[in-house]
Structure 1
Amino acid sequence: MSNQSATDNFDWMTDTPILIAGAGAIGSILGGMLQEAGHDVTLLGRRAHLEAIARGGLRISGLLGDRTVGGMKLADDPAKLGGRFGLILCAVKSYDTESIAAALRERLADDGVIVSLQNGLGNIEALIETFGRRRVLGARVIFGAEVPSPGCAHVTVFAQPVATGPAPALNLEDSPTLAERARAIAAMVDAAGVPTIAVDDIMPVLWTKILYNVALNPLGALLRLNYGALAADQDVRPIMDRAIEEAFAVARAVGVALPFSSAEEYQKFFYEQLIPPTVSHRPTMMHDLHVRGRTDISALNGKIVELADRLGLNAETNRMLTRLIRAAERAFENSKRTEKREKR
């Protein structure tokens, strides 16, 4: 990247309004840190959380330090947003990607960028359908956070820096320009206190996280165990290993350049480097399943099954985990309907 283009991108990021689309735990952390660093941030999220922020500021705690941040613009409905944004950080659940993209279609500036910060596969493609190839980046977020109460966001674990970049197989000829934008965004977020790097191809990074998620998320949600307990359990660990092996085979078959020569090499990295710093963490899928009754399983293990079926590969462990989560979602809904009938 030339010095001139680096300067241009820095100026663009310094001045542009930023929208956090999905101000849950991750979105709130990023929005609050960017606002404190001097950026113009708007949070789009749930009403109770935003009302608490309006009253007392956003209280951030945990591994990135303790602070209370005020001054952000707040909206609980896309229709209430004003103006256009040069940067949108999309942190909604994967099942809401298409609807939020449609709602924000006219809110992204012509020269702006929207970044998917979401778990799972298919989000970048969904955003491209609405915003076009030249305005979409992906990101891998592998730090854990929670909203312990409205108006608060707590960082629980931080395994690796956030990574952002284009998907050359999807962005095609626009990838070099988007890579420059990714470097500017990464520098901005990193300077705000959230360790972040830029990569030239986000897909291998996203797939590496998929290997992590397909093993941990559904089992942690179903068994209500943290990552350390899952890895230590002699009956659970073989299930995780098989889920990883199936996902690894799918990644290779679709041509993803994973930075591991084999599933076994990844598993060594998984147990020795990824699990230890997140040993006490529980997946957000556990909260989603038992509190909301809806998860992003279709973009995780379900996507592995979908791709494996298309390619003629085996994915029976991922299929089992997907079915168990979907059954648990239905059980949650049935329980809620029963509660409503009993209250009448």
Structure 2
Amino acid sequence: MREGGDQSKKGVVKESGQGEKRSILVAGCGAIGSVFACLLAEAGHRVCVLGRRPLVAAASTGGLRVSGIWGEHRSTPLDGACEAAAVSGNFDAVLVTCKSYDTESLLAELGDRAVPGGVAVSLQNGLGNLERLEAVYGPERVLGGRVIFGAEVIEPGHARVTVEAEPVLLGSRHGRSELAAEWASVVDRAGIACRPTGDIEAALWGKVLYNAALNPLGALLGVPYGELARDADRRWVMDRVIEEAYAVARAEGVALPWKDAGEYRRIFYDRLVPATAGHRSSMLQDLQRGRTTEIDAICGEVCRRGAARGVDTPLNRLLSILVRERSAGR
């Protein structure tokens, strides 16, 4: 299998009629990472993937495949590595797509692998990832991404896009609007709908409201998102989870775009859940495969931040406990 070539001296390459082509590392490449890697490579960018051995073997021999609601996409064979130490050179962008609980160890092994003027982008679930990236890359070289499309791995090297609620949002916590606009354009031109945002904190908290309500309950009950919204008792639980998370965000001073939790719930049930009704959460997939879940970065983080602000979060705490127990096989 091929390892990443030395990108450190290449930087951005101009290709007539095709715009600027970038060197991009997709680190922690699972379902979502495979979608980004495949479409960016298909658009002509130099993509290297860092992931599990079966994924890297597939990517380096036959390229990546994406199917599903966005149609069929294939990349040419990609450079890849199974360990951070095997990644050669630096990149215009490092897209971090690993599970939230792996962020610290990934960054400890990988370090800063962006070229001068390059960027690190978190395309992950949960809260706390941006702070970890900023500690390594510096605040002004980090973008957050709000991803609200769903994908699943069919087999190593083949991911299927199952649902899409809204475009990806990219933004800086430190005023780098031009950087967000630049990379949103790169992603959008590759075929993944993407827009810059001036308030990535609010966007990420919006996804936490969505994930906290749907992921753990869907995982515990083993049902897709649409089934949760059709039952009054399940809706009651999700309503309370949303109210708690909304209160924590407000206590932290986040400028959420909804006047109250009720306004968000109306959008949630009227638009977001119907758009993703058939999706089974990644948390459910993790439980089924005996893997660690991201509950601590979602409901667990809501609880931790709530405790620091004096906001009670009993439903988020209960879901955190139940998912951890199920994950432990108890």
Q: What TM-score range do you get, normalising by the shorter chain?
A: over 0.9
Counterpart pick for 1:142 among 148, 151, 160? 148
Contact 1:142 1:159 (8 Å CA) reproduced: yes
Q: How many residues align?
A: 315
* Distance change in 2, residues 1:184/1:10 (3 Å): farther
Report the CA distance between 1:54 and its aligned residue: 2.9
What corresponds to 2:277 in structure 1? 279
CA RMSD in angstroms, aligned pairs only = 1.5
What corresponds to 1:22 in structure 2? 28
| Partner SS for 1:70 | coil
Matched, 1:89 2:114: no
Equivalent-residue separation in structure 1 for 2:92 and 2:105 (angstroms)? 20
What corresponds to 1:152 in structure 2? 158
| Partner SS for 1:125 | helix
Contact 1:78 1:104 (8 Å CA) reproduced: yes
Report the CA distance between 1:14 and its aligned residue: 2.1
Counterpart pick for 1:263 among 249, 261, 264? 261
Which residue type is aligned with residue 99 of structure 1?
S
Equivalent-residue separation in structure 1 for 2:35 and 2:192 (angstroms)? 9
Question: Which segments of 5 or more consecutive residues in structure 2 lack a partner in the other structure?
Answer: 1-11
Cα deviation 1:217-261 (Å, max 9, x = unaligned): 001111111000011112211000000000001111101010100
Equivalent-residue separation in structure 1 for 2:102 and 2:53 (angstroms)? 17
Equivalent-residue separation in structure 2 for 1:90 and 1:152 (angstroms)? 19
What corresponds to 1:62 in structure 2? 68
Structure 1-normalised TM-score?
A: 0.89
Equivalent-residue separation in structure 2 for 1:306 and 1:10 (angstroms)? 45
What corresponds to 2:212 in structure 1? 214
Report the CA distance between 1:115 and its aligned residue: 0.4
Equivalent-residue separation in structure 1 for 2:279 and 2:149 (angstroms)? 10
Report the CA distance between 1:110 and its aligned residue: 2.6
Equivalent-residue separation in structure 1 for 2:271 and 2:238 (angstroms)? 16
Contact 1:93 1:118 (8 Å CA) reproduced: yes
| Partner SS for 2:304 | helix
Which residue type is aligned with residue 324 of structure 1?
L
What corresponds to 1:335 in structure 2? none
Question: Which segments of 5 or more consecutive residues in structure 1 lack a partner in the other structure?
Answer: 1-8, 333-344
Equivalent-residue separation in structure 2 for 1:237 and 1:243 (angstroms)? 10
Counterpart pick for 1:296 among 294, 297, 300? 294
What corresponds to 1:312 in structure 2? 310
What corresponds to 1:340 in structure 2? none
Which residue type is aligned with residue 19 of structure 1?
L
Equivalent-residue separation in structure 2 for 1:157 and 1:280 (angstroms)? 7
Report the CA distance between 1:15 and its aligned residue: 4.1
| Partner SS for 1:120 | coil
Show the 5 A alignment for 1:51-200.
Answer: 51-167=57-173, 171=174, 175=175, 178-200=176-198
| Partner SS for 1:32 | helix
Which residue type is aligned with residue 254 of structure 2?
V
Equivalent-residue separation in structure 2 for 1:304 and 1:222 (angstroms)? 19
Equivalent-residue separation in structure 1 for 2:54 and 2:287 (angstroms)? 20
Report the CA distance between 1:10 and its aligned residue: 11
Equivalent-residue separation in structure 1 for 2:60 and 2:94 (angstroms)? 21
Higher helix share: 1
Which residue type is aligned with residue 20 of structure 2?
T
What corresponds to 1:324 in structure 2? 322
Cα deviation 1:159-183 (Å, max 9, x = unaligned): 100000111xxx3xxx2xx211110
Calculate percent identity across the aligned residue pairs.
47
Counterpart pick for 1:237 among 235, 238, 262? 235
Cα deviation 1:276-307 (Å, max 9, x = unaligned): 11111011011112213311111100011101
What corresponds to 1:337 in structure 2? none
Contact 1:10 1:184 (8 Å CA) reproduced: no
Cα deviation 1:109-145 (Å, max 9, x = unaligned): 2321000000000000011111111111100000000
Structure 2-normalised TM-score?
A: 0.92
Equivalent-residue separation in structure 1 for 2:77 and 2:182 (angstroms)? 24
Equivalent-residue separation in structure 2 for 1:232 and 1:221 (angstroms)? 16
| Partner SS for 2:66 | strand
